Amino acid sequence: MATTRRELSARYDAAAVETAIYERWLASGAFTPAPEPPAGAERFVIIQPPPNVTGALHIGHALTATVEDILVRYHRMRGDDTLWLPGVDHAGIAAQFVLDKIIAEEGETRASLGRERYLERMWRFMDETRPVIGMQHRRLGASVDWTRERFTMDPGSARAVRVAFKRLWDAGLVYRDEALVSWCPRCRTTISDLETVHREETGTLWTIRYHLARADGTPDPGRWISVATTRPETILGDTAVAVHPDDERYRDLVGREAILPFLGRRLPIVADPYVDPAFGTGAVKITPAHDPNDYELGKRLGLPVISVLDEEARINAAGGEFVGRDRYEAREAILDRLRDSGDLEDERPHQLMVGHCERCGTVVEPRLSVQWFIHVKPLAERALASVREGRTRIIPDHLEKVYAHWLENIHDWAVGRQLWWGHRIPAWFCPDGHVTVTDAEAGPDACATCECPAAELTQETDIFDTWFSSGLWPFSTLGWPDATPDLARFYPTSVMETAYEILFFWVARMMMLGLFLTDVEPFHTVYLHGIVRDPYGQKMSKTKGNVVDPLAMITEIGADALRLALVSGNAPGVDQRLTQPKLDGGRNFTTKLWNATRFVVGARPEPLAEPGGEASLAERWMRSRMTAAIERATRALDELAPAEYVGAAYEVAWSEYCDWFLELTKVDLRRDDATDADRARTWLTAAELLGDLLRLLHPVVPFVTEEAWTIIAELEPRATRGEPLLIRATWPSPSPRDKEAERDIEALTELIRRIRDLRQAAGAAAGSWLPLELAPVSAEARAIAAGGARYIEALARVRPMNLDATGARPPLVGSATLGMIWFGTDAGERAGDAARVELQGRELSAQVDRLRTLLANDQFTGRAPAAVVVRERARLADLERQLAALEAGE
RNA sequence: GGGCGAUUGGCUCAGUCGGUUAGAGCGCACGGUUCACAUCCGUGAGGUCACUGGUUCGAAUCCAGUAUCGCCCACCA
């Protein structure tokens, strides 16, 4: 692609190049690890949360993928044996939720299709939806190994699930028991506590009279006990009324019976310390089948358990006349009836926390059912120890406390879901009720307990919680339980990166299952990023309409710009607000980088001579600064501080390479006394340093850097050291720092800044040349100024320059290290307002005073580390010299 | 009810091991058609680091308390 400088537009058109570049990367095979790991290479494997198969890329995915891609690209450039394995999660509940809506439009329901046809339909749906996320990740530039892409419903994952469950079963960590679990009446499945979101709502607290029964069971006229409830519809399932044992008001009622409205059931009045006498009336209706507390109390007291709701939360046959009504209709009907009979004593607003299904928002219902549980305590203890003992580190570390707190209070995991889409629990029941668990795909040959043949066994219809298969992700994707080469090569993995939101759902489960099944921590580091919020700090959601669509953003400003906006200035685990100025900033940077490349391309001396001569001060300085940036960026990436890395790379690119180095280079290229060899050397240095810059920036802005790299590589292969593709290029290596050049340029740029400031104060025309007089503070200062004279002249627009001024007149201003300056004309002199000199003098003497006081303090000199004292002494000496020079000039 | 976190220029945020002059971007003011870039360049203003007390030679940083905001967890009808 012969690119001439004319063809390069000042506007960088991301949309036009990004797709093509991704194809080039794919074609190069750069995403896939070499067949054999390079000798001596370190392993770097990143674990990403597999997105939901039905999902579309949202801004959170974009952040996740960006952070991961930065790390992966960096490690690949380092030559590490790097793997980023992509995939999607089958997302049981979420997928069924979506498909149910789709088939509803087709006039079908789950029931009308039946399990088999429903699942066939689901697989067809998967064909449509599965590729979507992948395509979107490509747009973002995710350098994942597509050859290893996995799906949690593929056969390998299915086998891993069976084997994992079998091992848990064999270890006695699985049990089946009746329990009150959270149930979503809309999704018609059990959900875990984690999948329940609690929201505070204003409900009503109703007070209802239960009439007392005489000993013979007939009503005792005029006597009642009043109970308070927020859920009147559940009275149909009441089996007792409870009061506090010490409550004098009810002492004589304990042991008697109340009569349940509508159903006439006789309810014992019991005493139990669980009841809070201060709340409501001090008397509680007990509904063991529909309230966790009541369930516990019912168990303690041996009360009957009567479930009155069906799986869609309608009143069932136990509900008498209310049968078939939805729970809320039933509530209203019951209240109406109580009102009519005068038994509704009171109703008042009441704040309460209500659990909703995370997926569909429906109010969840405690429901009594037989469930599969995993006894997680022993697993949790190991997961806890790994973090406590430092074998797995969580970043940011304060989330370790959150992780620990959750694991310390963990409840057994109800893993069964009454859904169809997912991995069916590999347990079979024989007619005698024995349970057989097997990891064989075909199921058991016979009942494990008795002699029942396979033909008489029926498989459990429940499927697994999606997170059970996700919890196996780090190793199931690599071939576990088989000892595959990939498993040996890439497991345990390195860094697990995700949003802190799924710390419990996923990270803790991967730790628990990973430790149990593989005896090793699945990763050594957990990196958790925060949530991307809208400019007002609100969580983005489709219903609020405040979402930033990453794909639209990519189309508009390019993936690089979006990536940069997402990771810059953002500490781990901290939520961020994504604002338009930030996005603009990302776009501006890509444009800047593009234009720096355009300059280098256009500045090439034609023809290019053989480079020679000694490196200029600017060249030496920039090499040194590049080294500093490389060191800082490398350290940041090794410490998993992506924002720090981006900051280092951004700063060296814009504030040093573009703002100063390229300007200084222009001077070197255009100076009259330069030879062709000098010019060639200067240009080549600029091109090489641009190459380093592109290497450094590639992980965060891979597209524009790759495009620039291609252009530079074609123009001058030496600048890219013959590496044709940036994605496969090596990470830049630091060279020795040149402290002398850094000191000199620092002094020169400071002087230039001061002159520019003066020029503006003097109202000098921007393009005008002013004569400059400089009185150096020392011979060394004179040498520095002389060495950089051409830079001062060009960048401060001063000409002619006298470096040996004597200071007969009051100086305009002093440079920190070089000396006093004057302008040699009246126009310039007008800038010499004494105030400016005085101000600088005041600043200087204030600092000198401060340091003198500090250093005179024995406490400081005696107790502070010697290095600190030495540094402060040196600083004082420097400031004193400046102050003296300033005063001498006056 | 428990736990966690935050509070830094007008805005959004960094801030390493406590080190004396707290940074960036945006915004603001002023100037700019210097042959890479106006999605730009130059210069500048702007902060008692929420408050109170403590530890220390020295605190944005460590400790205690207060206030405000946010988040997570939790079975009180």
CB contact at 8 A, A208 and A235:
yes
CA A645 to CA A701: how far, in whole Å?
Answer: 12
Residue A57 has pLDDT above 90, yes or no: no
CA A247 to CA A145: how far, in whole Å?
Answer: 68
Kindly write down the DSSP assignment for every residue of A93-116, as one continuous string.
HHHHHHHHHHHHHTT--HHHHHHH
Give pLDDT, residue A261: 85
Residue A274, CB, strand B, below 7 Å: yes
Using C1' positions and the CA of A639, the closest nucleotide is B16
Distance A657 CA to B17 C1' (A): 31
In A491-616, which residue ranges form alpha helices assigned H by DSSP? 509-518, 550-557, 559-567, 580-603
What are the pLDDT digits (tens) for A794-842?
999 998 888 888 766 655 666 656 777 777 665 455 545 544 555 566 6
| Check: complex ipTM more than 0.90 | yes
Q: What is the mean pLDDT of residues A379-386?
A: 92
Top pLDDT among A343 and A615 is at A615
Coil/strand/helix, residue A352: strand
Handedness of CA A75, A76, A80, A85 (dihedral sign): positive
Distance A566 CA to B39 C1' (A): 18
Kindly write down the DSSP assignment for every residue of A63-97, as one continuous string.
HHHHHHHHHHHHHHHTT-EEEE--EEB--HHHHHH
Residues lying close to strand B (Cβ under 7 A), chosen from 291-310 of chain A, are 291-293, 296
CB contact at 8 A, A89 and A51:
yes
What are the pLDDT digits (tens) for A479-519?
999 999 999 999 999 999 999 988 888 899 999 999 999 99
Distance A652 CA to B17 C1' (A): 25
Residue A313 has pLDDT above 70, yes or no: yes
Top pLDDT among A607 and A832 is at A607
Strands A427-429 and A435-437, sheet pairing = antiparallel
Residue A624 has pLDDT above 50, yes or no: yes
Angle ∠(A886,A772,A662) on CA atoms, nearest 5? 105
CA A179 to CA A516: how far, in whole Å?
Answer: 25
Write phi, then psi, for A244 (nearest 5 degrees).
-75, 140
Average pLDDT of every residue of chain A: 88
Using C1' positions and the CA of A599, the closest nucleotide is B36
Strands A196-213 and A344-357, sheet pairing = antiparallel
Residue A569, CB, strand B, below 7 Å: yes
List the structure tokens of A295. Answer: 């369930």
Distance A581 CA to B27 C1' (A): 10
Query: What amino acid occupies position A304?
Result: P
Distances in Å between the alpha carbon of A290 and those of A183, A269, A372? 11, 19, 20
The pLDDT confidence band at residue A642, using thresholds 50, 70 and 90, is very high
List the structure tokens of A373. Answer: 């549980």
A511: left (phi over 0), alpha (psi -120 to 50) or beta: alpha
Q: How many Cβ atoms from other residues are within 10 Å of residue A826's Cβ?
A: 7
Kindly write down the DSSP assignment for every residue of A809-832, as one continuous string.
S--SEE-SSSEEEEESSHHHHTT-
Top pLDDT among A847 and A130 is at A130
Give pLDDT, residue A834: 46
Give pLDDT, residue A862: 82
Residues lying close to strand B (Cβ under 7 A), chosen from 370-399 of chain A, are 398
CA A635 to CA A629: how far, in whole Å?
Answer: 10
Distance A361 CA to B46 C1' (A): 48
Distance A489 CA to B38 C1' (A): 52
What are the pLDDT digits (tens) for A684-713?
999 999 999 999 999 999 999 999 999 999
Angle ∠(A30,A34,A37) on CA atoms, nearest 5? 135
Coil/strand/helix, residue A838: helix
Q: What percent of chain A has pLDDT over 70?
A: 95
What are the pLDDT digits (tens) for A269-298?
888 888 888 888 888 899 988 898 888 888
For residue A654, what is the DSSP state? I
Q: How many Cβ atoms from other residues are within 10 Å of residue A260's Cβ?
A: 22
Angle between helices A59-77 and A617-638 (to 10 degrees): 120
CA A270 to CA A284: how far, in whole Å?
Answer: 10
CA A113 to CA A132: how far, in whole Å?
Answer: 26
Kindly write down the DSSP assignment for every residue of A674-685, as one continuous string.
--HHHHHHHHHH
Range scoring the smallest mean pLDDT among A391-395, A570-574, A811-815, A826-830: A826-830
Residues lying close to strand B (Cβ under 7 A), chosen from 665-694 of chain A, are 666
Residue A595, CB, strand B, below 7 Å: yes
Q: Residue A484: CA atoms inside 13 Å, Cβ hemisphere, count?
A: 13
The pLDDT confidence band at residue A213, using thresholds 50, 70 and 90, is confident
Residues lying close to strand B (Cβ under 7 A), chosen from 226-265 of chain A, are 228-231
CB contact at 8 A, A661 and A689:
yes
Distance A582 CA to B25 C1' (A): 8
Give pLDDT, residue A838: 59
Give pLDDT, residue A153: 95
Residue A739, CB, strand B, below 7 Å: no
Which residues, in sequence order, are CB contacts of A338 under 8 Å at separation 6+?
Answer: A208, A232, A261, A344
Using C1' positions and the CA of A600, the closest nucleotide is B36
Q: To which H or E segment does residue A835 belong?
A: helix A834-856
Distance A577 CA to B50 C1' (A): 22
Residue A537 has pLDDT above 90, yes or no: no
Residue A886 has pLDDT above 80, yes or no: no
Size (chain A), residues: 890
Residues lying close to strand B (Cβ under 7 A), chosen from 180-209 of chain A, are 193-194, 197-198
Residue A4 has pLDDT above 60, yes or no: no
Residues lying close to strand B (Cβ under 7 A), chosen from 481-520 of chain A, are 504
Angle between helices A662-670 and A676-697 (to 10 degrees): 160
Distance A542 CA to B1 C1' (A): 33
Top pLDDT among A343 and A518 is at A518
Q: What is the mean pLDDT of residues A718-723?
A: 94
- Give the closest residue to B13 (Cα–C1′): A569
The pLDDT confidence band at residue A5, using thresholds 50, 70 and 90, is very low
List the structure tokens of A393. Answer: 């580190």
Q: Residue A201 pairs with which residues in a beta bridge?
A: A352
Distance A201 CA to B7 C1' (A): 29
Using C1' positions and the CA of A5, the closest nucleotide is B36
Residue A852, CB, strand B, below 7 Å: no
> What is the pTM for the complete model shown?
0.92
- Give the closest residue to B27 (Cα–C1′): A581
- Give the closest residue to B57 (Cα–C1′): A860
Give pLDDT, residue A2: 39
CA A392 to CA A503: how far, in whole Å?
Answer: 14
Distance A809 CA to B28 C1' (A): 37
What are the pLDDT digits (tens) for A183-209?
999 888 898 888 888 888 888 889 888
Residues lying close to strand B (Cβ under 7 A), chosen from 321-360 of chain A, are 352-353
The pLDDT confidence band at residue A638, using thresholds 50, 70 and 90, is very high
Handedness of CA A461, A466, A468, A474 (dihedral sign): positive
- Give the closest residue to B40 (Cα–C1′): A592
Which residues, in sequence order, are CB contacts of A604 under 8 Å at separation 6+?
Answer: A683, A687, A715, A716
Using C1' positions and the CA of A500, the closest nucleotide is B72
Which of A708, A720, A600, A589 is closest to A655 using CA atoms? A589
Give strand B nucleotides closer than 7 A to any protein Cβ.
Answer: 3-5, 12-15, 19-21, 23-27, 30-44, 56-58, 72-77
Residue A131, CB, strand B, below 7 Å: no
* Range with top average pLDDT, A356-360, A543-547, A562-566, A778-782: A562-566
CA A80 to CA A425: how far, in whole Å?
Answer: 39
In A141-192, which residue ranges form alpha helices assigned H by DSSP? 155-170
The pLDDT confidence band at residue A96, using thresholds 50, 70 and 90, is very high
Residue A767, CB, strand B, below 7 Å: yes
Coil/strand/helix, residue A274: coil
C-alpha A54: how far from chain center: 20
CA A801 to CA A823: how far, in whole Å?
Answer: 9
Which of A174, A238, A249 is closest to A208 using CA atoms? A238
CA A311 to CA A326: how far, in whole Å?
Answer: 11
What are the pLDDT digits (tens) for A16-35?
899 999 999 999 999 999 99
Give pLDDT, residue A816: 56
Give pLDDT, residue A831: 47
CB contact at 8 A, A553 and A562:
yes
Give pLDDT, residue A835: 47
Query: What amino acid occupies position A358?
Result: E
Residue A282, CB, strand B, below 7 Å: yes
